[in-house]
């Protein structure tokens, strides 16, 4: 199957994007790396009357180092992070995550901004930016704004982005050198979307911890009580009980099997961070 006919606009700047994305009767979509959108167009699962190609926007490929954070352009590819071609604010977590997304051909073209804007609940970057407490920079016809990653996703494939908004950059706070991280991803096979993905961050010296579980049929879940128990040095059995209770209390109606799987990945990620 091939996509239905559509018009194509290659944007030279954000002003061109703003003009093309004005709400109206024409269904307009932005294309960046195209690794998710093109297959969906071919299957006619994501109809579009017009595509706005933003790959030529050099400003969205830039990296800005700030005293307390690094600003990554939304058009940076997964491979750019995997190959450590940009400064790393995450103590190695972002390169680790990027290297496990799909396959190299996809990582060469797929972009971090495109993955976040799609908001597939099982996408690796979604859980990662929430774990890292990132800020997402959004440009729209009414100006620019900044959205905490934790508030960006409203539901599966549904974000805070307005119809005419563009995700332009991801700002990641510089993680302390004393912070350790752990991850655990369950997938049908290497490179596939996660069935469950957990990330734990632990800084005993700085007295901070964070545990996030993704691929939960919605926005990633931040397990605050589990993180506190990890920081306090709770035994693994206690961590499992607390994590299970937090997940069960979430509004996701997990099956017993899903609840066990998400609890297990959370505990394994926490265990790796504490090792």
Which CATH number fits the domain that encloses residue 240?
3.30.390.50
CATH number at residue 71: 3.30.465.10
The answer to the question of residue 20 being in a domain is: yes
Residues 67 and 46 in one domain: no
Distance between CA atoms of 265 and 253, rounded to whole angstroms?
A: 18
Residue 148, pLDDT > 70, answer yes
Q: 81 and 160 in one domain? A: yes
Q: What is the mean pLDDT of residues 102-121?
A: 94
pLDDT for residue 150 is more than 70: yes
Beta strand pairing status for 180-187 and 143-148?
unpaired
27: number of Cβ within 10 Å:
12
Rounded Cα gap, residues 248 and 256, in angstroms: 9
In a domain, 139, yes or no: yes
Asked if residue 24 belongs to a domain, the reply is yes
| HEC-encoded secondary structure of the chain | CCCCCCEEEECCCHHHHHHHCCCCCCCEEEECCCCCHHHHHHCCCCCCCEEEECCCCHHHHCEEECCCEEEEECCCEHHHHHCCCCCCCCCCHHHHHHCCCCCHHHHCCCEHHHHHHHCCCCCHHHHHHHHCCCEEEEEECCEEEEEEHHHHEEECCEECCCCCCEEEEEEEECCCCCCEEEEEEEECCCCCCEEEEEEEEEECCCCEEEEEEECCCCCCEECHHHHHHHHCCCCHHHHHHHHHHHHHHCCCCCCHHHHHHHHHHHHHHHHHHHC
- Average per-residue pLDDT for the chain: 92
Query: pLDDT at residue 7 above 90?
Result: no
- In the structure, what pLDDT confidence band is assigned to residue 49 with cuts at 50, 70 and 90? confident
Phi/psi at 243 (nearest 5 deg)?
Answer: -65, -45
Question: Could you tell me the pLDDT band of residue 25, with boundaries at 50, 70 and 90?
Answer: low
- Does residue 162 share a domain with residue 222? no
**Residue 163 and residue 85 in one domain:** yes
Residue with tokens 């997304």, as numbered in its chain: 101
Determine the average pLDDT of the residues in 82-105. 97
**Percent of the chain beyond pLDDT 90?**
73
CATH code of the domain in which 28 resides: 3.30.43
pLDDT tens per residue across span 204-257: 999 999 999 999 999 999 999 999 999 999 999 999 999 999 999 998 999 999
Look at residue 117 and tell me whether its pLDDT is greater than 90: yes
> Does 179 reside within a domain?
no
The pLDDT, as a whole number, for residue 234 is 96
Whether the pTM exceeds 0.85: the reply is yes
Q: Do strands 166-173 and 194-203 pair parallel, antiparallel, or not at all (unpaired)?
A: unpaired
pLDDT at 196: 97
Pairing of strands 194-203, 208-214: antiparallel
Query: Residue 1: which pLDDT band, with cuts at 50, 70 and 90?
Result: low
| For residue 38, pLDDT beyond 70 | yes
Nearest to 211 by CA among 113, 95, 133: 133
Residue 75 lies in a domain: yes
**Amino acid 17: pLDDT:** 87
Query: Total domain count for the chain?
Result: 3
Mean pLDDT along residues 263-273: 98
160 domain residue, yes or no: yes
Q: Looking at the domain assignment, is residue 180 inside a domain? A: no
Structural domain of 151: 59-173
As a whole number, mean pLDDT of residues 160-174 equals 94
Residues 138, 147 contacting (CB under 8 angstroms):
yes
pLDDT given at position 11: 87
pLDDT band at 23 (very low <50, low <70, confident <90, very high): confident
Evaluate whether residue 181 is within a structural domain. Answer: no
Split at pLDDT 50, 70, 90, the class of 30 is confident
Q: Are strands 50-53 and 7-10 parallel, antiparallel or unpaired?
A: parallel
Tokens 């609940």 correspond to what residue?
A: 121
Residues 49 and 89 in one domain: no
């Amino acid at each position: 199957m091939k996509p239905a006919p559509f018009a194509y606009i290659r944007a030279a700047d954000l002003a061109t994007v703003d003009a093309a994305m004005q709400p109206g009767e024409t269904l307009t979509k932005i294309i960046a790396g195209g690794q998710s959108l093109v297959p969906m167009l071919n299957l006619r699962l994501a109809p579009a009357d017009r595509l706005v190609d933003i790959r030529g926007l050099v400003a969205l490929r830039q990296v800005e180092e700030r005293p307390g954070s690094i600003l990554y352009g939304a058009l940076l590819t997964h491979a750019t992070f995997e190959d450590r071609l940009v400064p790393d604010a995450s103590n190695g977590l972002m390169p680790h995550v990027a290297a496990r997304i799909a396959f190299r051909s996809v990582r060469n073209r797929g972009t971090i901004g495109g993955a976040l804007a799609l908001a597939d609940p099982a996408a690796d970057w979604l859980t990662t930016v929430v774990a890292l407490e990132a800020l997402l920079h959004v440009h729209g016809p009414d100006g620019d704004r900044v959205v905490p990653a934790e508030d960006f996703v409203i539901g599966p494939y549904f974000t805070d982005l307005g119809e005419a908004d563009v995700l332009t950059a991801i700002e990641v706070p510089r993680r302390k050198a004393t912070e350790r991280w752990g991850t655990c991803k369950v997938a049908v096979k290497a490179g596939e979307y996660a069935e469950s993905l957990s990330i734990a961050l632990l800084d005993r010296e700085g007295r901070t911890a964070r545990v996030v579980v993704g691929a939960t049929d919605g926005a990633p879940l931040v397990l605050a009580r589990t993180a506190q128990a990890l920081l306090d040095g709770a035994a693994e059995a206690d961590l499992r009980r607390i994590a299970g209770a937090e997940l069960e209390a979430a509004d996701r109606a997990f099956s017993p099997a899903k609840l066990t799987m998400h609890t297990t990945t959370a505990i394994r990620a926490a265990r790796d961070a504490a090792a």
